[in-house]
């Protein structure tokens, strides 16, 4: 359920209400049907509707139910893969094309928010990739050098400046990415939906797709109580995929990630902890992230699922880790907790799939859903509108392949995070 404290937590409590939607209970004919009301699907719907294309979105549960409503809220540029490595993985054409698209993706997010007046706690103050030890410092130095060679506005900070910006002495340096920022992720998803509806798109919730059949050069996409006929289908379900395109989910390994939120901090604490309101995460293998929301709550997260024994292990670890980072906090408790799933591909890069004739989608965001999801949604709209040919897309067409030992890896990620968090504070 969307109001489950272990699913959407603080974001459900602080987001503006979702726009009114209903279940699909009839037959509908449109130009494009979009499956999934996350960032990709809603961005595609908005851009298509603004171009005058008749569009319908089918969402199995609620707007932003999946990763869009559960993530940390960092508007990051690029992907996990080092910039210089992308051309080696994708080839020089697609590699540089993807770098350019995703490097500028935060700008599109911020432009949409400003143009449509979306109330989602947007900050434009950048993000901090925090170096832990000499190994972490080497990593961010390499990343800074590679982005700077491409003209990106990233700055390498020394330990003293990092301490001033973060409020902690735990880091050897930081990479400040001025392209990036933070937002309230569920509020942004709901704002995209509201904007798409205003532009003329239709959105149906509680309407899971059960079947998709090709008939007379069109697709009939069925839900339990209705169906949509369309020329094009966009699959935008990613790590939470079910139904006809469940294989999108099974080509990814689920990495659980949780977030905890404190009470609003005092003005004095807010002046010492992330006073510039950057979002932050570290270079540890079992990474941690933290940021402040509009009310001054410290949102602190890491790898792990808040279920079974994880419900006790991870919050206890987070309290130890948080107080080691920020001794000035004193005895601060968590008011909210929630977790979700990050879909990880084998090479930590997204995918473009052509599932069938006129059935397309991007997936595999590897924990970078906000900016890539938004820009990929626009890209799919441009392709359908004939503004961007398939050969001009930022990724080549790829087959859907399930990674080896996927289930065992997911079990290990969840158990391994518990082991790591029981062992120490991971700093």
Query: Is residue 51 a part of any domain in this protein?
Result: yes
Residue 3 has pLDDT above 50, yes or no: no
Query: Is residue 207 a part of any domain in this protein?
Result: yes
What does the block give as tokens for 149?
């060679």
What does the block give as tokens for 34?
């979009």
Cα–Cα distance, 7 to 244 (Å, whole number):
24
Cα–Cα distance, 263 to 12 (Å, whole number):
16
Cα–Cα distance, 370 to 356 (Å, whole number):
26
Confidence of residue 4 (pLDDT cuts 50, 70, 90): low
Query: Is residue 59 a part of any domain in this protein?
Result: yes
**CATH code, domain with 51:** 3.50.50.60
> Which pTM was predicted?
0.96
Confidence of residue 1 (pLDDT cuts 50, 70, 90): very low
Query: Is residue 50 a part of any domain in this protein?
Result: yes
State the pLDDT at residue 147: 96
Element (H, E) at 67: none
Cα–Cα distance, 238 to 252 (Å, whole number):
9
**What domain range includes position 372?**
9-71+186-251+347-396
The answer for 296, left when phi > 0, alpha when psi is -120 to 50, beta otherwise, is left
- CB burial of 57-83 (b: ≥16 within 10 Å; e: otherwise) equals bbbbbbbbbbbbbbbbbbbbbbbebeb
State the pLDDT at residue 289: 97
DSSP class of 19: P
Q: Please state the separation of Cα 23 from the chain's center in Å.
A: 26
Query: Is residue 64 a part of any domain in this protein?
Result: yes
Cα–Cα distance, 43 to 195 (Å, whole number):
9
For 287, residues 6+ apart whose C-beta sits below 8 A from its C-beta are 281, 302, 303
The separation between the first and the last C-alpha atoms of the chain, rounded to the nearest angstrom, is 34
Q: How does pLDDT run across 161-200, given as a tens digit for each residue? A: 999 999 999 999 999 999 999 999 999 999 999 999 999 9
Instruction: Decide if 181 contacts 122 (C-beta within 8 A).
Output: yes
Cα–Cα distance, 227 to 105 (Å, whole number):
34
Residue 6 has pLDDT above 70, yes or no: no
Query: Is residue 196 a part of any domain in this protein?
Result: yes
Query: Is residue 322 a part of any domain in this protein?
Result: no
For 411, residues 6+ apart whose C-beta sits below 8 A from its C-beta are none
Averaged pLDDT for residues 135-152: 97
| Average pLDDT, rounded, for the chain | 95
Instruction: Name the least confident of 4-13, 305-314, 337-346, 371-380.
Output: 4-13
Query: Is residue 32 a part of any domain in this protein?
Result: yes
Q: How does pLDDT run across 345-400, given as a tens digit for each residue? A: 999 999 999 999 999 999 999 999 999 999 999 999 999 999 999 999 999 999 99
Cα–Cα distance, 251 to 236 (Å, whole number):
14
What does the block give as tokens for 158?
């020394």
The count of domains in the chain is 1
If we measure between CA atoms, which residue out of 21, 89, 112 comes closest to residue 371?
Answer: 112
Q: Any long-range contacts for 151-160 (C-beta under 8 Å, 24+ apart)?
A: 152/77, 152/103, 152/177, 152/179, 153/177, 153/178, 153/179, 154/178, 154/179, 157/128
If we measure between CA atoms, which residue out of 42, 353, 16, 47 comes closest to residue 186?
Answer: 16
φ and ψ at 166, to 5 degrees?
A: -95, -40
Cα–Cα distance, 284 to 149 (Å, whole number):
25
Confidence of residue 2 (pLDDT cuts 50, 70, 90): very low
For 238, residues 6+ apart whose C-beta sits below 8 A from its C-beta are 36, 38, 40, 66, 67, 248, 249, 252, 343, 363, 364, 365, 369, 373
């Amino acid at each position: 359920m969307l109001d489950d404290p272990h699913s959407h937590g603080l974001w459900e409590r602080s987001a503006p209400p979702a726009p009114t939607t209903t279940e699909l209970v009839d037959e509908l004919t449109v130009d494009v049907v979009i499956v999934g009301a996350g960032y990709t699907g809603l961005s595609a719907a908005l851009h298509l509707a603004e171009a005058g294309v008749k569009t319908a979105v089918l969402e199995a549960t609620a707007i932003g139910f999946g990763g869009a409503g559960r993530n940390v809220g960092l508007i990051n540029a690029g992907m996990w893969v080092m910039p210089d490595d992308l051309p080696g993985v994708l080839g020089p054409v697609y590699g540089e094309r993807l770098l350019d698209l995703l490097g500028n993706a935060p700008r599109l997010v911020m432009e949409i928010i400003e143009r449509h007046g979306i109330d989602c706690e947007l900050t434009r103050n950048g993000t901090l990739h925090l170096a832990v030890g000499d190994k972490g410092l080497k990593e961010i130095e390499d990343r800074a050098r590679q982005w700077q060679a491409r003209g990106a506005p990233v700055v390498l900070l020394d330990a003293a400046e990092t301490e001033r910006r973060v409020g902690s002495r735990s880091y050897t340096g930081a990479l400040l990415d001025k392209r990036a920022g933070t937002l309230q992720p569920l509020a942004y998803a709901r704002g995209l939906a509201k904007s798409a509806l205003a532009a003329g798109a239709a959105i149906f919730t509680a309407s899971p797709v059960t079947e998709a059949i090709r008939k007379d050069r069109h697709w009939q996409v069925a839900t339990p109580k209705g169906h949509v006929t369309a020329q094009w289908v966009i699959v935008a379900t990613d790590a939470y995929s079910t139904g006809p395109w469940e294989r999108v989910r099974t080509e990814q390994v689920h990495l659980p990630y949780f977030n905890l939120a404190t009470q609003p901090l005092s003005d004095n604490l807010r002046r010492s902890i992330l006073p510039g309101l950057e979002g932050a995460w570290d270079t540890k293998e079992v990474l941690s992230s933290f940021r402040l929301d509009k009310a001054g709550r410290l949102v602190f997260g890491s790898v792990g699922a808040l279920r079974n024994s994880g419900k006790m292990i991870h919050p206890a670890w987070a309290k130890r880790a948080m107080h080691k980072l920020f001794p000035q906090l004193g005895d601060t408790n968590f008011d909210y907790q929630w977790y979700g799933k990050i879909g990880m591909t084998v090479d930590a890069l997204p995918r473009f799939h052509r599932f069938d004739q006129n059935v397309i989608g991007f997936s595999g965001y590897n924990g970078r859903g906000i900016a890539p999801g938004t820009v990929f949604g626009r890209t799919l709209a441009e392709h359908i509108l004939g503004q961007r040919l398939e050969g001009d897309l930022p990724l080549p067409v790829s087959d859907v392949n399930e990674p080896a030992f996927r289930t065992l890896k997911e079990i290990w990620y969840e158990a391994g995070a518990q082991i790591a968090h029981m062992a120490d504070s991971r700093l």
